[in-house]
A and B are shown apart, each in its own frame.
Chain A
Amino acid sequence: MTATGAAGAPDAGESARAAALVQPPLPVAWRGLPAAAPLAELLPTREGGLRAVFRWGLAREVHVVTRPPGPQQVVRPAWVAGVGGDEVHTAVAAVRDVLDSRGAAAFVGRWGAVGDPSAAADADALAGLGLGHRAVARLLRTPALSTREALARARALLRVGAKPAAAAVLRATPGVWLDRLTLEAATHIAAECGVAELFDVVVARLVEAGDRAGVAPLVQLAVQAGAFDAAARGAEAIDDNATLATLALWRGDLGSARALAAGDARVVLVVDAAAACLGGEQPPRDERDVEAMDALDVRLAASVAADPSDHELRLWRVELLVRGGRMERARAALDRREQGNPAEHALEALVDDVGEPSDVESTLAALGVEDPLAALGRLGGNRTALPTVVLEDRTTLPTVVSDHPGVVAELPGVVPEASAEGEDADRMRLKAESASAAGATLPSGGRSGSATLPSGGSGHPGVVATLPSGGSGHPGVVAKLPSGGSGLRLLGRVTSRLRAIDTQHTVLWRDGAEVADELDAIAVRDPRDPFALTYAGELRLWLGEYEEAADRFARACRLSNARWGYIGLGAALSLLGRGDEAVATWDAGVARLEYEATWTYLGELLLARGDVAGAGVHLAQAVRTRPDRLGAWVGYGRWALAAGDAPAAENAAAEVARRAPALWAQVGGASGAAAGADDALFAAALAALRGNRSSHLYSFFGADGVWRCVRPGR
């Protein structure tokens, strides 16, 4: 990777050589490359060519690489790192070159040095065009021939958001590790993709090489990725007993944990606290127990005071105090800023009821918790609650349940949802609720969906289970046993709303119609939640399927008064040419519709009806309050032309060109400040956008009829 700081100035000979190299073969006038862009570096490539690096501004680079038989453009589009504006034009230029078969490719930062840049180039360039799904298909079409190539592909797939595809590439990666840089790359990508298998390979290589310093951070990465067995092997190799003790504790193996913890004061303290909380009887039986508990509390309090960020120790202290009946002190020791930790939730439930013992009983009875402390005990030794966002895997569970019935039995409160395949959603929900009501408690007292449980063994690859969430009716939570792992990680809560949001974002690298169908399926699975319907409707709007969109939004409106139902239904009706019904729909939800999305659609409708003044009010309000709503700018541009406000129209065109260069280029617009305000361009852009007026993703149909979805530039 080239340094991003001040690069050494090349000598005159090199500059001349680079200039000769660059000027004649450049196929296009790069919009993002100033004529005076300074040559920052000139580097030899492995293939015997040269890489000329032009760098200007803060984050803009163009790499020009010679490779036999001729030169190729290699661009590092800064927009990939979230930078927009002018950098996007660079990317568009690259994209145009791809379309023109001129051999543009994208340079993928440091990963370009360890892999196949052309693979990454495909992904980047296609992602720039909103063709992520094509990039994914292309990169998966043929297996990678080398580790480096596989890593480059995985990295490229990550860049277009296709994490599952990247993980699939990594899992099929040939185990030929070339050098330290490759190992590092593999590890980080594996951690990002959650591919535990690679840790074993990497750790083994480093252990073989005697690289103890290199193994230590990998062990921690492996723990974070849930690759507990690989972490344990790595820890054993470098005698990292603290980590081994922690892993033993998480398995509920207090004896091993205690033996391994010797010599590490903090881990000893953790194990002591765990032993006091998980073993013995409650409350303390005699004075000696009380004294021992007090002494332990003093040690824990001192450690927490020394390091207030040590959440794990603090939780153990709270639990110890709860166990000893010191509820006021437990309350004081809680840190309520911590959200999402199961132990925190459970403990908070207990200490919040201080002073009203009957409430404790009734609360816990209502939760179906017969023995709250025992329920807490089922958390095992893990109070760190590794937070991870996961996508639910509903295809794995039926197999797992049938192959490993014991796994489900180990988890009190687990409803093997997928095992009820074929049952309708209501019955499944009833099943979940009855399981909860019957006292099938979650480890944290039935109140939280995120925990780590001892699984009692290993070797259950890819176990995924869905837990009920109290009586809420939400499908709840995902649990996962890492392949080869010996501890069960229950991961973050996945509500239908979050699932719908995550699913919608996959349009960046998946086929739109496929994603729309998946959103429909989410709505079927959780018929009480309106959000899957509104997201499904929104995507249908983007795809130009207005009747289908109207159907989804109308169902959402019948289900709840969520504003998106009304906004979307009105939008769909308006796009179907049923303007009066659209206005009536928006009026019906008027109290909920003081919102820029409505202003955009309503402004367009008013403009189409010749109400220039009314349209101006709404469209101006839309772009002022949410300037990242691309469709609003297009509509505003049309209004400005209709109103004779040329400067406003030019400004709107420039905004569209800056935020959606690929779209603007397609309809024939120019870039930059003189983007060319023209009603035909605006109209063509709106037509290409179909019903998309989103502020976070824009989609359009290309001249080739292919639907594309892109993150907007800023």
Chain B
Amino acid sequence: MVVQPRTEALRCIAQVVHGRLSGAIAAAWSTASRATVSDRLVDAIARHDDGWAPVDRTPIIDPRRSVPYDFMTLPVDERIAIYATGIDALEASDPLAATLASMHFSAFVDASTHPEFAAREAARRERLAADPATAADGYGLLQQLDLLSLLLCLRQPGSDADAWPRWSRTPVRVDGVVHTLEWHTEWEAALVPSPLRAPVVFELAYVDLPRTPFESQRALLAAWDAAPRMTATLMLA
């Protein structure tokens, strides 16, 4: 779950939705150095977080903070299980997508504390034997579009700037060009310079939970069930 703290709400966006947003941006990407992104790579980028789908159906309480866990605060052991499940599913459909996701998630896990995961994923990548240049290029694009999609989900106007993670200040850089995200309105943003052949119009599904401490998992689920399912049309130019 991507959780965007706002003044009076916690805006919850499913990882799958965030992933699809990354894919939608990839599909529209067109620059002098990268005229187009292959359908296969677009699909891999769009599905990179599919492993989170079962977990994101209901939020899980972080008992220390009395708020839902997000993709950063969920305990690493649980995240590793989610990563592995997601990569397994991708491997069944597209080895390149699985390779990119494996590279992507391995970067989030400290190999010294979780050597089994690191070894298993290294073995997987060797088994899948993706073309190294293709994998490196795809991984680079996945990293940047994942970041961009997260910026869109986290740093929306109205979000609590104090809660923006430090990494969200990292510039989005693709093929050596830094693309700055500029917000126009709550649901309209632009990349400068723009790498998009046409604006990306994306229906962003989210749930606004009240920004109050949840005493228990039961209280969190009650609020989750009561909150309306919202959709807003985000446009990135």
Q: A residues bordering B, Cβ < 8 Å?
A: 335-337, 339, 345, 349, 352-353, 356, 359, 362-363, 366-367, 437, 446-448, 469-474, 493, 495, 497-498, 528-531, 560-564, 591-592, 594-595, 625
Point out the residue from B192, B201, B203 that lies within 8 Å of A447, measured CB to CB: B192
Distance, CA A335 to CA B235, complexed state (A): 26
* Known pairs A562-B233, A563-B233, A564-B233; A471 contacts B201 (CB<8 A): no
Contacts of B178 in A (CB 8 A): 353, 359, 362-363, 366
Q: List which B219-237 residues lie within 8 A (CB) of chain A.
A: 228-229, 231, 233, 235, 237
B169 to chain A, nearest CB (A): 5
* Known pairs A367-B192, A497-B235; A561 contacts B203 (CB<8 A): yes
Distance, CA A447 to CA B161, complexed state (A): 19
- B193 near A471 (CB under 8 angstroms)? yes
A431 to chain B, nearest CB (A): 16
Contacts of A367 in B (CB 8 A): 180, 192-193
- B201 near A472 (CB under 8 angstroms)? no
B208 to chain A, nearest CB (A): 14
Contacts of B203 in A (CB 8 A): 561-563, 591-592
Beta-carbon nearest neighbor of B231 in chain A = A595
At the interface, yes or no: B218 with Cβ under 8 Å from chain A?
no
* Known pairs A366-B193, A564-B233, A594-B229; A493 contacts B184 (CB<8 A): yes
Contacts of B192 in A (CB 8 A): 366-367, 446-447, 470-472
Contacts of A469 in B (CB 8 A): 182, 184, 190
A400 to chain B, nearest CB (A): 25
Q: B residues bordering A, Cβ < 8 Å?
A: 157, 160-162, 164, 169, 171, 173, 176-180, 182-185, 187-188, 190-194, 198-199, 201-203, 228-229, 231, 233, 235, 237
Further contacts, 16 of them, CB under 8 A, given A472-B190, A497-B185, A528-B199: A339-B157, A362-B176, A362-B177, A367-B192, A447-B180, A469-B182, A469-B184, A471-B190, A471-B191, A472-B194, A473-B199, A495-B184, A495-B188, A531-B235, A560-B201, A562-B203
Distance, CA A625 to CA B231, complexed state (A): 13
Distance, CA A337 to CA B183, complexed state (A): 13
Distance, CA A493 to CA B186, complexed state (A): 12
A320 to chain B, nearest CB (A): 21
Distance, CA A105 to CA B92, complexed state (A): 74
- B173 near A594 (CB under 8 angstroms)? no
State the 8 A-B residue pairs at the shortest beta-carbon distance, nearest first.
A472-B190, A470-B192, A560-B201, A336-B161, A471-B194, A472-B237, A363-B178, A471-B193
B127 to chain A, nearest CB (A): 34
- B201 near A561 (CB under 8 angstroms)? yes
Contacts of A560 in B (CB 8 A): 198-199, 201
Contacts of B190 in A (CB 8 A): 469-474
B158 to chain A, nearest CB (A): 8
Distance, CA A474 to CA B190, complexed state (A): 9
Contacts of B229 in A (CB 8 A): 594
- DSSP majority for the B interface? strand
- B180 near A363 (CB under 8 angstroms)? yes
- A530 near B231 (CB under 8 angstroms)? no
Distance, CA A560 to CA B24, complexed state (A): 11
- B173 near A359 (CB under 8 angstroms)? yes
Distance, CA A502 to CA B55, complexed state (A): 40
Contacts of B228 in A (CB 8 A): 625
Beta-carbon nearest neighbor of B228 in chain A = A625
Contacts of A564 in B (CB 8 A): 233
Distance, CA A592 to CA B232, complexed state (A): 10
Point out the residue from B157, B184, B187 that lies within 8 Å of A474, measured CB to CB: B184
- B185 near A495 (CB under 8 angstroms)? yes
- B194 near A337 (CB under 8 angstroms)? no
Contacts of A448 in B (CB 8 A): 182
Beta-carbon nearest neighbor of B237 in chain A = A472
Distance, CA A493 to CA B176, complexed state (A): 29
Determine which residue in B188, B198, B202 has the highest number of CB atoms from chain A within 10 A of its CB, and name it: B188
Contacts of B183 in A (CB 8 A): 339
Contacts of A595 in B (CB 8 A): 231
Chain A to chain B contacts (Cβ below 8 Å), 30 pairs: A336-B161, A339-B183, A353-B171, A359-B171, A362-B176, A366-B178, A366-B193, A367-B180, A437-B193, A446-B192, A447-B192, A469-B190, A471-B190, A471-B193, A472-B182, A472-B190, A472-B237, A473-B190, A474-B188, A495-B185, A498-B185, A529-B199, A560-B201, A561-B201, A562-B201, A591-B203, A592-B203, A594-B231, A595-B231, A625-B228
- A497 near B188 (CB under 8 angstroms)? yes
Beta-carbon nearest neighbor of A336 in chain B = B161
Determine which residue in B179, B185, B192, B228 has the highest number of CB atoms from chain A within 10 A of its CB, and name it: B192
Contacts of A363 in B (CB 8 A): 171, 178, 180
Distance, CA A356 to CA B229, complexed state (A): 41
* Known pairs A366-B192, A497-B188, A529-B199; A563 contacts B231 (CB<8 A): yes
Beta-carbon nearest neighbor of A446 in chain B = B192
* Known pairs A336-B164, A529-B235, A563-B233; A473 contacts B194 (CB<8 A): yes
Contacts of A339 in B (CB 8 A): 157, 183
- B237 near A473 (CB under 8 angstroms)? yes
Distance, CA A447 to CA B187, complexed state (A): 17
Distance, CA A314 to CA B178, complexed state (A): 27
Contacts of A563 in B (CB 8 A): 203, 231, 233
Distance, CA A595 to CA B228, complexed state (A): 11
Contacts of A530 in B (CB 8 A): 201
Contacts of A335 in B (CB 8 A): 161
Contacts of A529 in B (CB 8 A): 199, 235
Contacts of B233 in A (CB 8 A): 531, 562-564
Distance, CA A359 to CA B203, complexed state (A): 32
Contacts of B173 in A (CB 8 A): 359, 362
- A349 near B180 (CB under 8 angstroms)? yes
Distance, CA A424 to CA B185, complexed state (A): 26
Distance, CA A530 to CA B173, complexed state (A): 28
Contacts of B237 in A (CB 8 A): 472-474, 528
Contacts of A345 in B (CB 8 A): 182
Contacts of A446 in B (CB 8 A): 192
B25 to chain A, nearest CB (A): 13
Beta-carbon nearest neighbor of B205 in chain A = A594
Contacts of A495 in B (CB 8 A): 184-185, 188
Distance, CA A337 to CA B5, complexed state (A): 12
Contacts of A498 in B (CB 8 A): 185, 188
Contacts of B198 in A (CB 8 A): 528, 560
A310 to chain B, nearest CB (A): 18
- A592 near B231 (CB under 8 angstroms)? yes
Contacts of A528 in B (CB 8 A): 198-199, 237
Beta-carbon nearest neighbor of B229 in chain A = A594
Distance, CA A591 to CA B17, complexed state (A): 12
Distance, CA A487 to CA B15, complexed state (A): 47
Distance, CA A592 to CA B234, complexed state (A): 12
- A352 near B171 (CB under 8 angstroms)? yes
Contacts of B157 in A (CB 8 A): 339
- B235 near A470 (CB under 8 angstroms)? no
Distance, CA A448 to CA B201, complexed state (A): 22
Distance, CA A473 to CA B235, complexed state (A): 12
Beta-carbon nearest neighbor of A595 in chain B = B231
A478 to chain B, nearest CB (A): 13
